[in-house]
Amino acid sequence: MTVTVVMKTKKEKFADPPNFTEKKDYRPSDVRETGFAFVGHEISEDRTTMNQFLHYDQLYTIRHGWNSKFFIGLLDGKIMGTRCPKCGDSWVPVRTHCWNLDCNLQKTEWIEMPLTAKVHTWTVAGWSGRSSLKRLPIVLVYANIGTSKVAMANELHGLNPWDVEFGMPLKIVFKPKQQRVGAVTDFHFEPADFWKPSPMNPEKQRIKDLVMPVYEWVKTLK
């Protein structure tokens, strides 16, 4: 038996890497990847218990891959959705393959959605994650954008928090182009121009009573 060994003179790749030509770095100047560091400790008076403070932060690369068109669309002030050519269902947030088992993971096609939406459900937040505390109170809505079969979460601005209502018509408003980062925070919802809040009622008053202390509390944040 003879074995033929083919020597390759040049390293072959199975896929061409993307050529990343547009690069942006907008990290605040005080953000650094410091790696792991013990930055302090504390010991109880009776010296039986110790706490140690470990600090680390890491830079993650979120590779959007086949979903990239949605996030690039945000930079351009567009809401890109996807649509199944077989059953016609469409989505924002996008699906690159159809969710309908009968369509058997059919690849979907990209469509540009209109910048209009409708509230499916809502809440008024008086507390949130660390990076959102200063924006409180936040009206968070789940809304169907354009023809989307699913509802997408985002903040609703441009009204008193207690005036939000089910089914209200919305428009999508983007940040100025130079402030966009290709993330869902590039846009928010606002009431459609023709929408008017309904008169005060007991539930709205209840929400107002719950929300007023939140405004005061946020003022105390450093």
Q: Which residues bind another protein (CB under 8 A)?
A: 44, 49, 51, 54, 62, 64, 67, 71, 89, 91, 93, 99-102, 120-133, 135, 137-138, 140-142, 144, 149-155, 166, 183-185, 206-207, 210-211, 213-214
* Residue closer to Zn ion, measured from CB, 105 or 153: 105
Cis peptide leading into residue 93 (ω within 30°): yes
Smallest distance, Zn ion to C-beta of residue 93, A: 16
**Nearest distance, CB of residue 185 and another protein, angstroms:** 5
How many helices (DSSP H) and strands (DSSP E) are in the chain?
Answer: 2, 10
Which partner, another protein, Zn ion, none, binds residue 67 by CB below 5 to 8 Å per kind? another protein
If contact means CB under 5 to 8 A according to the sort of partner, which of another protein, Zn ion, none does residue 120 touch?
another protein
Q: Are 192 and 116 in contact (CB under 8 A)?
A: yes
* Contacted entry of another protein, Zn ion, none for residue 102, CB cut-off 5 to 8 Å set by kind: another protein
CB of 114 to another protein, least distance (A): 18
Min separation Cβ 69 and another protein, Å: 13
Q: Is 43 a residue that touches Zn ion (CB under 5 A)?
A: no
Listed in sequence order, the DSSP H helices in the chain are: 68-75, 202-219
Helix (H, G, I), strand (E, B), or coil: what is residue 139? Answer: strand
d(CA 41, CA 78): 49
Distance CA 145, CA 148 (A): 6
Q: Which of 65, 69, 73, 78 is nearest to 109 (CA)?
A: 69
> Which is closer to another protein, CB of 75 or CB of 125?
125
175 within 8 A of 186, measured Cβ to Cβ: yes
Query: Min. distance of Cβ 90 from Zn ion in angstroms?
Result: 10
Per-residue x/- track, 67-106, Zn ion (CB under 5 A): -----------------x-xx----------x-x--x---
> At closest approach, how far in Å is the CB of 174 from another protein?
14
85 preceded by cis ω (within 30°)?
no
Q: Which of residues 143-172 bind Zn ion (CB under 5 A)?
A: none
Comparing CB distances to Zn ion, the nearer of 103 and 218 is 103
Q: Please report, for residues 44, 76, 215, the alpha-carbon distance to residue 72 in angstroms, rounded to integers and kept in the order given.
A: 52, 7, 35
Residues 6+ apart with CB under 8 A from 216: none
Chain positions contacting Zn ion, by CB under 5 A: 84, 86-87, 98, 100, 103
